[in-house]
Each structure stands twice: as C-alpha cells, then as structure tokens.
C-alpha cells in the first residue's frame, strides 16, 4: 500500500482544539492533527483509554485513511501478513448444511486488491497510543456535560461532570453514539435522535483451535463468513494472527416498527450463554457448535442515529458515531469515522486555515461528508434486512447476489483525495481560500 503519511510538523495554527472522546476516531484525530502541526487536548470520560475486547473489521477505504493519517504502519507492525483478511464476504445458509449462496469475490466491483484487516480493538490502542506526541494533553475522567460560548470572545467553555471547564476555539465531538457534543450541534436531546433497530447482537471471541477441535468444518480463519437465515445472521472473521474468531450473532424481532421499542437498562448486557444457544437451536451444525462455544457472550441492543441535518454548528464538529452511528451490517461504520477524521485533518491543516475561517471550513466538511456517510448508513441498514430474508417464501438463491453485487464498491473504492480536492475547490469558490497556496 502506498504511504502518504507525513512527519509531524511545527505547530503553526492560531486556534486551540479540544477533542471530546478517546475512542478509535478520537485518538486517530489526535494523531492526524499532531502530524498537521495542530496541538489538541483530548478529553476521555473513563479513567483510561480502553476498548471493548472484541474485533473490528477495517475495509480498504479505512486502511487508506489510516495510512494517510500516519497510523496504518504502526497497526501493521503489530500484525502479521496473515491478518490481511479478505473482506469480501462468503454468504452461506445458516440452517441446514451451510450451502454457499453467494461469494462476493464474484462481484465485478471488488477485486483482490480490496483487502482489509480484522483487528482486535485493544491492538488498535497499542498501535496508536505511542503516536500521541504529548501525553500531557490527554485528560481522563472528563465526561462532557455541555458546551457554551464565552461572551465577548470567540472561544467555547467545555463543561465536565467533575465541575471543571476547558476553553477551546474548536471542539471536535468524537464521543460516540451517546454523544453529548451532538446536543450542541443539533439542539436536540439524544433520546430523539437514537432508535432501537429491533436487532440484538451477541458478541464473543472464540479460539479457532477450540472450534476446529469441536468439529467445525467451515474454514473460518480464511475470510469473512456470513451465515444467513430468517430473522438472524452471524458474521465471523479471524483476528489475533488468525488464532481467534470474532463472532457476532444477530437476532431481529420482525414486524415491529423501528424506533417503536425503548430499551430499558444498559444497551450492553452479559447474558446466559443458553439464551444465545436457544436462538440458533434449529440452525446447522457449524453454527450450533460456534454458539455453544461463545462463552460469556455480551448482548448488544443495536441502535442507530437517525440522519442529522448537519454535522457542524459554528466551530463545533462531529466525527464518527457522534455524527452517523449506523448498523454494523457492512462493517463500514468505523471506516466512515476514519474518513471523517481524514478530511477534517486535511482541511484543518491546510495552510490557509485560520481561526477566522474555521466555521466556513467546517460547513464545507459537512457538505462533503454528510451525503456519503448517509449513503453508507442506508446501505448498512438495508444489508441487515436482506441478510435475514433468506429462507422466506419466494426467496431465491440468486436474490443475495442480485442485491449485494455492487453494494461495497462505492464504499471501499471511494477516492479520499478527491474529497479533499472538492472541499478546497468549494472553499476557493466561496472566497475562503485563494488558489495561490496549498
């Protein structure tokens, strides 16, 4: 893969940046800004940087964004070549003998070059944290409560639950699906913005040697598999040097309008393994063996964020799940967050970007990123519906191919540099930038 990453440069901007949230997107943003010569303070609600111990799939577009941000090489140094996972899913029937329904390798819009990585989330932290140039700018136990303008200045006061405040000229909300930054941008409560999709996901990481020893015949370490059936599907792909399988088993309550059910309690719960086993009791042998070895599964109530009218307001901007939390059915949510970070870092690091034009720059970021993220959001939601129609009356074997052929190409092969070019062109058109620099 070509590397476009540049070395960190001397800080030269006249504005102060605060990043809210120390998840994957927040940390990537801190690294990307530092390499562009922009110091940022990052505020994390928990006591330390910590990712849920599960796997995440990164498609080729996500890898290109991370490469340009100067992060990919550090990730790959912690992985082996064998961990390059073919992200082109193999669709097989969940019930019965796991018949192959469709191989995305046969789709003309994706080729062998469209590889990806299945990565353990803690491994991402191990790769990124050493790239933070000044750990003193990382602040913990800082849970955002509100953002307010400071009268008579161009700055914001960022208020935290411990009673402290911090001043910044630019606030980047990378605080996830429950984002408090979003409230400032949209003026709406999160309860109005988030919807339960009627789908739950049981997650666990299972050693491959255990599954193989138990008789699983599907070669789960070779690529990404999608076991599909009525109202359910299971995604499985290898992580940690192909020694473990990340398994996500989805179950959907059909016939209920999306958003009509309110989830009481935590959206992530530990549940008895038998609950999961019972859900797949009538599926095929490999699936039953897999779920029988998903010890201590966590149950996630899958919510998505209804599409927003904007991703920025004044000099507060959203990235990642704070902007467009989507269903995980195409494995593209994290990648969209990294695309956000890529474009934002490029625009903020532009030689003509200053405090005086930040608001206009963020508005252009919104115009470029929002339509694309909404496209991926829509395709991700639709994918889950199509996975779980397999087996319904009238369903044909080639229905999977007819729907999914061409779905991933526009997501994976998107030209990230073209977004930067389009954004700069728009800023020149508006008279914010001139054509003589950058």
CA–CA separation, 162 vs 127, rounded Å?
Answer: 30
Same domain as 239, residue 185: no
Count the residues in the chain. Answer: 438
287 inside domain? yes
Same domain as 296, residue 318: no
12 inside domain? no
Domains in the chain: how many in total?
2
Question: What is residue 301's three-state secondary structure?
Answer: strand
CA–CA separation, 226 vs 182, rounded Å?
Answer: 33
Token code pair at residue 312: 């920025």
Q: At CA 90, angle to CA 330 and CA 258, rounded to 5?
A: 35
- With a cut of 50, say whether residue 240 has pLDDT above it: yes
**Sign of the torsion angle spanned by Cα atoms 74, 345, 181, 136:** positive
Same domain as 189, residue 61: yes
3 inside domain? no
CB atoms within 10 A of CB 212: 16
- With a cut of 70, say whether residue 113 has pLDDT above it: no
- Per-residue b/e over 50-71, b at no fewer than 16 CB within 10 Å? ebeebbbbbbbbbbbbbbbbbb
- The number of C-alpha atoms within 13 Å of 89 and in the hemisphere containing its C-beta is 29
CA–CA separation, 326 vs 398, rounded Å?
Answer: 27
Sheet holding 84-85, edge to edge: 55-58, 116-120, 84-85
Helices vs. strands in the chain: H and E counts, helices first: 15, 20
Which of 304, 331, 366 is the last residue in one of the domains? Answer: 304
The DSSP result for 88-157, as a single string, is: SPEEEESSTT--EEEEGGG-TT--TT--EEEEEHHHHHHHHGGG-S-GGGEE-S--EEEEEE-TTSS-EE
Average pLDDT, stretch 180-195? Answer: 92
Query: How many angstroms separate the first and last alpha carbons of the chain?
Result: 25
Same domain as 364, residue 296: no
Give pLDDT tens digits for 30-65: 999 999 999 999 999 999 887 665 678 899 999 999
CA distances (Å), 164 to each of 156, 157, 183, 215, 294, in order?
13, 10, 19, 56, 42
Same domain as 179, residue 120: yes
Same domain as 26, residue 66: yes
CA–CA separation, 253 vs 197, rounded Å?
Answer: 9
Same domain as 124, residue 272: no
How confident is the model at residue 119, as a pLDDT?
82
- Are residues 320 and 174 in contact, defined by beta-carbon separation less than 8 angstroms? yes
434 inside domain? no
Distance of CA 358 to the CA centre of its chain: 25
3-state DSSP of 217-228: CCCCCCCCEEEE
- With a cut of 70, say whether residue 112 has pLDDT above it: no
* Residue (of 342, 361, 353, 370) closest to 430 by Cα position: 361
Give pLDDT tens digits for 316-352: 999 999 999 999 999 999 999 999 999 999 999 999 9
Same domain as 120, residue 157: yes
36 inside domain? yes
Same domain as 208, residue 164: no
In the chain, the largest separation of any two C-alpha atoms, in whole Å, equals 70
CA–CA separation, 108 vs 105, rounded Å?
Answer: 8
6 inside domain? no
How confident is the model at residue 401, as a pLDDT?
83
CATH number, residue 286: 3.30.9.30
Average pLDDT, stretch 229-241? Answer: 92
Which of 6-15, 115-124, 233-242, 404-413 bottoms out in mean pLDDT, i.e. has the lowest? 6-15
Which of 304, 333, 355 is the last residue in one of the domains? Answer: 304
How confident is the model at residue 114, as a pLDDT?
67
- Are residues 222 and 87 in contact, defined by beta-carbon separation less than 8 angstroms? no
Residue bearing the bigger pLDDT, 203 or 79: 203
Same domain as 80, residue 120: yes
Which of 242, 277, 304 is the last residue in one of the domains? Answer: 304
Q: Which residue has the tokens 């290898």?
A: 238
Residues 6+ apart with CB under 8 A from 17: 33, 38, 39, 40, 41, 168, 169, 170, 171, 172, 348
Same domain as 222, residue 140: no
93 inside domain? no
The parent domain of residue 55 ranges over 17-87+113-193+308-429
Same domain as 344, residue 263: no
* Residue (of 6, 319, 19) closest to 169 by Cα position: 19
Average pLDDT, stretch 273-286? Answer: 97
Residues 6+ apart with CB under 8 A from 227: 92, 93, 94, 98, 233, 234, 236, 283, 284, 286, 287
96 inside domain? no
- Bridge partners for 238 per DSSP: 245
Give pLDDT tens digits for 118-131: 787 888 999 999 99
CA–CA separation, 104 vs 110, rounded Å?
Answer: 8
């Amino acid at each position: 893969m070509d590397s476009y990453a540049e070395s960190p440069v001397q800080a030269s901007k006249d504005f102060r940046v605060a990043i809210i949230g120390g998840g994957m997107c927040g940390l990537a943003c801190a690294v990307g800004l530092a390499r562009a010569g922009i110091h940022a303070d990052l505020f994390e609600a928990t006591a330390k940087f910590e990712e849920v111990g599960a796997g995440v799939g990164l498609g080729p577009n996500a890898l290109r964004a991370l490469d340009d941000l100067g992060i990919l090489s550090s990730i790959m140094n912690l992985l082996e070549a064998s961990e390059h996972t073919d992200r082109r899913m193999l669709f097989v029937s969940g019930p019965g003998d796991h018949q192959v329904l469709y191989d995305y390798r046969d789709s003309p819009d994706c080729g062998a070059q469209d590889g990806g990585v299945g990565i353990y989330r803690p491994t991402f932290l191990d790769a990124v944290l050493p790239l933070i140039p000044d750990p003193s700018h990382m602040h913990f136990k800082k849970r955002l409560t509100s953002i307010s303008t400071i009268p008579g200045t161009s700055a914001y006061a960022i208020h935290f639950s411990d009673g402290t405040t911090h001043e910044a000229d630019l606030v980047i909300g990378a605080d996830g699906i429950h984002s408090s930054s979003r409230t400032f941008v949209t003026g709406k409560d999160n309860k109005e913005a988030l919807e339960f999709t009627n789908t739950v996901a049981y997650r666990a990481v299972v050693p491959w040697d255990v599954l193989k020893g138990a008789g699983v015949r599907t070669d789960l370490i070779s690529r990404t598999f999608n076991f599909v059936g009525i109202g359910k599907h299971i995604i499985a792909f290898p992580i940690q040097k192909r020694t473990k399988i990340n398994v996500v088993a989805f179950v959907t309550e059909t016939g209920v309008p999306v958003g009509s059910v309110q989830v009481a309690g935590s959206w992530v719960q530990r549940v008895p393994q038998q609950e999961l086993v019972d859900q797949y009791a009538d599926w095929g042998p490999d699936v039953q063996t897999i779920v029988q070895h998903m010890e201590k599964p966590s149950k996630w109530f899958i919510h998505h964020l209804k599409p927003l009218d904007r991703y920025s307001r004044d000099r507060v901007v959203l990235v990642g799940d704070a902007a467009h939390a989507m269903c995980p059915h195409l494995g593209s949510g994290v990648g969209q967050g990294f695309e956000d970070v890529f474009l934002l870092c490029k625009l903020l690091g532009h030689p003509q970007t200053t405090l005086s034009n930040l608001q206009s720059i963020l508005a252009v970021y919104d115009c470029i990123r929002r339509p694309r993220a909404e496209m991926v959001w829509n395709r991700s939601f639709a994918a889950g519906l199509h996975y779980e129609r397999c087996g319904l009356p009238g369903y044909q074997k080639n229905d999977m191919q007819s729907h999914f052929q061409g779905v991933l190409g526009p997501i994976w092969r998107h030209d990230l540099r073209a977004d930067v070019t389009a954004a700069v062109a728009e800023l020149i058109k508006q008279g914010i930038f001139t054509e003589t620099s950058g």
